Structure 1
């Protein structure tokens, strides 16, 4: 192995004093120096020969952080060193790293060091764990996922969280918008102050202003005493406007004033008050369509959507259903009960379209847990839980759209459901060892229906 270049002693001393994990790399991905924070987090990965420092120095960054024999860009991931080598600039990516606590999401910032001749000889890499309780493996709480769509979304959260920018979370019902709002807040400089949620869809127009801005004594019938509003409670922290598309049009202008000037008045007061807060909003509606229809102010839309983040539906998060199912099962069937999912049950769960997303998955798992008397959930329990659900209404209305779905959309949804059902059947068939009659009973269908579907699949 080629001899390691000697890093400048001053640089090594500087890195040692930094609180976050830092390493010094050469252009061959080899670790030349690691500060104490890095050694504490990753040093145990390589054994103890030569002490904690010796366990990482001389090894490649991808071997220590990913347990991989090739660099990230050769393993299908983005590599900050390769990107910085090509651009000559600082690069930042989100990676899953192996740590003493297991796998964790880590934000990587890598900067090339250029000498007086303009040559890049070293790279400094900084690792910052995301303060959002987001883990790629099942846990009791927090954001969970490893799919590319999930990681793309989480990378945007990591970028915008430390800023002051207003964030607009866009996604279908049940995709976890409130969890992501908490992640944005926890990753900000306001994390020690309050995150105040406002459910805009549940507040009647007559009470919306007083709930948001507060009111003075005698401002209206029943106002027996002065009361601060939710804006005042969020001062110094984050105001989370959930379902912002449901805010009444007459009140949108008052919200706009708050966002533009940081000032507001309680109902029944002439005193101008100030609030230092960050706004994170969320909606399942298409605000651009609402702006075009005159049902949402265009200026308010642009004020709220400084940094929009799309939350992917569960059907676009390949492989995340299994991770979510194991974590959610702990919540719906807490200890001392311990439930496991069989391979066939998991395959059947992964094959569902989940129009209600993670919320629907949780409900399905709770029904399944109640229907299982043993310690292992089988495909038959999942089938029974699925059969408990109500059939979809013909010509169902898209939530929040106000218009029936087109025949093309319904046909597309039907084709998608049929494809997913076929995949579930093939997976169940691959794991089944008994007769076809037993398989039909396991799937909750008749033998005639099973033979008909197998024939259609060419099995």
Structure 2
């Protein structure tokens, strides 16, 4: 009988992808589901797990990832992590569950690893791919929490700035749950006046108030069997918070104008950009409601904390804002995007890329197009308009150059020089003509040319 024949036979009966490997990361067996998903054209037995999954030449923890084998060795218990794995479809996020197996003497000898690809709505990105996009450590850590809490019934509170994608994360939580086939109903709490909040949420009976000509079900009933997403929950009027608390504590509610007690079959996910703990301290948000909502809080990282994800986000966003065009970003344009503070986060990035696409006549968005698109935001983004003192003289030239200037909108000198280098490579006329083309004075142009020479000499 082949070694580990019984274990191999067990793995082959499982519908999820499984492998069996030893303490040296060497794969001893792989079931059909694993071979189909990760290596349909090549045998994996005898190869290292990190080689097959990640294309690494060394273990995961030597490449900036969490290694479940290392964690299992330390804890002696089952471990779960979220990884990006290579598949025939590209990189996918995969939930890994590793179980250490002991011999008769209690020594760790083998490891069984189950992989569960996450749903498409939060896979790793491609331009035509899902909505939630990223592979930075901050994004992956957030996604790992989503994958962990999704299958449960825990109440989730999403905390993040405006534009970070809270509704998309709420959908990801819903789709990872057993309720995925039922509705996800979003409630924009910031747009509901106090007089209508209770009726919209719980429904009303005919004649309950002026204008209630017929009975109407509320959003809680619309979400029956699924998920109720309370967006901007920090904007719920204090007088209405007690009614929401009763729903969460008892699972029951009454329509406006009715004495009939109804039972809600919902899972609640809420989100806010506000500091609820400060609101609790100020008496503007009920402490008991806060604790009910925040059973499992998840912080969504702002874009400035995952700037490396812009390289993935930008192509996908360009595909959405200009689907009829095949637009690409020049390297300098990407560098410029990655230098911004992005107070509006991904929503702001999308809007800026749409402007840049409209300013670009070709198929490549240059740094000058991005710079021109950024200039619209400078009056309302103080952080982006604070330039180093070295560029103060150039500001006066820029102010006189008029609306046709493009290079003058770059917020960082290094990026101005990058655009200048590109223009110099293409320009065949005089320096005066180049200055006019850039919308700056010759004095400013020569100052930048000297800076460009000094930067090149410094390398």
TM-score by length of 2: 0.87
Q: Alpha-carbon deviations, 1:139-179, whole Å to 9, x = none?
A: 33321011111111111111111111111111110000000
Query: Unaligned 5+ residue runs, structure 1?
Result: 49-54, 395-409
- Pick aligned residue for 2:24 from 25, 28, 32: 28
Question: Does 1:339 find its partner at 2:339?
Answer: no
Query: Unaligned 5+ residue runs, structure 2?
Result: 392-409
Distance 1:212 1:125, change over 3 A: same
User: CA shift at 1:131, angstroms?
Assistant: 1.4
Question: Does 1:153 find its partner at 2:142?
Answer: yes
| Partners of 2:85 and 2:92 within 8 A in 1 | yes
- Pick aligned residue for 1:392 from 380, 396, 412: 380
| Partners of 1:379 and 1:442 within 8 A in 2 | no
| Partners of 1:347 and 1:428 within 8 A in 2 | no
User: CA shift at 1:77, angstroms?
Assistant: 1.4
Residues in 2 aligned to 1:437 and 1:203: alpha-carbon distance in whole angstroms: 59
User: CA shift at 1:82, angstroms?
Assistant: 1.4
Distance 1:316 1:420, change over 3 A: farther
| Partners of 1:132 and 1:183 within 8 A in 2 | no
SS in structure 2 opposite 1:165? Answer: coil
User: CA shift at 1:9, angstroms?
Assistant: 1.8
User: CA shift at 1:350, angstroms?
Assistant: 1.8
| Partners of 1:258 and 1:264 within 8 A in 2 | yes
Distance 1:60 1:204, change over 3 A: same
Distance 1:443 1:316, change over 3 A: farther
After superposition, residues 210-225 of structure 1 pair within 5 angstroms as 210-225=199-214
Question: Does 1:98 find its partner at 2:94?
Answer: no
Query: Aligned residue for 1:352?
Result: 340
Residues in 2 aligned to 1:185 and 1:327: alpha-carbon distance in whole angstroms: 23
| Partners of 2:368 and 2:419 within 8 A in 1 | no
User: CA shift at 1:368, angstroms?
Assistant: 1.0
| Partners of 2:202 and 2:220 within 8 A in 1 | yes
SS in structure 2 opposite 1:236? Answer: coil
User: CA shift at 1:306, angstroms?
Assistant: 0.6
| Partners of 1:30 and 1:59 within 8 A in 2 | yes
User: CA shift at 1:135, angstroms?
Assistant: 3.0
- Pick aligned residue for 1:278 from 264, 267, 290: 267
Segment drifting more, 192-201 vs 106-115: 106-115
Residues in 1 aligned to 2:229 and 2:32: alpha-carbon distance in whole angstroms: 38
After superposition, residues 364-403 of structure 1 pair within 5 angstroms as 364-389=352-377, 391-392=379-380
Query: Aligned residue for 2:11?
Result: 15
User: CA shift at 1:430, angstroms?
Assistant: 6.6
User: CA shift at 1:425, angstroms?
Assistant: 3.5
Residues in 2 aligned to 1:114 and 1:89: alpha-carbon distance in whole angstroms: 11
| Partners of 1:352 and 1:421 within 8 A in 2 | no
SS in structure 2 opposite 1:125? Answer: strand
After superposition, residues 161-180 of structure 1 pair within 5 angstroms as 161-180=150-169
- Pick aligned residue for 2:106 from 86, 100, 118: 118
Structure 1 vs Structure 2 CA RMSD: 2.6
Query: Aligned residue for 2:122?
Result: 134
- Pick aligned residue for 1:424 from 415, 422, 439: 415
SS in structure 2 opposite 1:391? Answer: helix
Question: Does 1:293 find its partner at 2:282?
Answer: yes
Q: Alpha-carbon deviations, 1:347-371, whole Å to 9, x = none?
A: 2222221110101011101111111
Residues in 1 aligned to 2:376 and 2:359: alpha-carbon distance in whole angstroms: 11
Residues in 2 aligned to 1:416 and 1:220: alpha-carbon distance in whole angstroms: 61
User: CA shift at 1:438, angstroms?
Assistant: 8.4
Distance 1:6 1:455, change over 3 A: farther
SS in structure 1 opposite 2:368? Answer: helix
User: CA shift at 1:10, angstroms?
Assistant: 1.9
Query: Aligned residue for 2:194?
Result: 205
| Partners of 1:132 and 1:184 within 8 A in 2 | no
Q: Alpha-carbon deviations, 1:273-332, whole Å to 9, x = none?
A: 001111110000000010001000000000001111111111110311121111000000
Distance 1:348 1:393, change over 3 A: closer
- Pick aligned residue for 2:66 from 73, 78, 101: 78
Query: Aligned residue for 1:399?
Result: none
| Partners of 1:7 and 1:33 within 8 A in 2 | no
Residues in 2 aligned to 1:57 and 1:393: alpha-carbon distance in whole angstroms: 55
Residues in 2 aligned to 1:20 and 1:354: alpha-carbon distance in whole angstroms: 40
Residues in 2 aligned to 1:455 and 1:205: alpha-carbon distance in whole angstroms: 62
Distance 1:310 1:438, change over 3 A: farther
Residues in 2 aligned to 1:149 and 1:303: alpha-carbon distance in whole angstroms: 26
Query: Aligned residue for 2:36?
Result: 40
Q: Alpha-carbon deviations, 1:28-51, whole Å to 9, x = none?
A: 10111111100101123xx44xxx
Residues in 2 aligned to 1:266 and 1:153: alpha-carbon distance in whole angstroms: 37
| Partners of 2:125 and 2:132 within 8 A in 1 | no
User: CA shift at 1:444, angstroms?
Assistant: 6.3
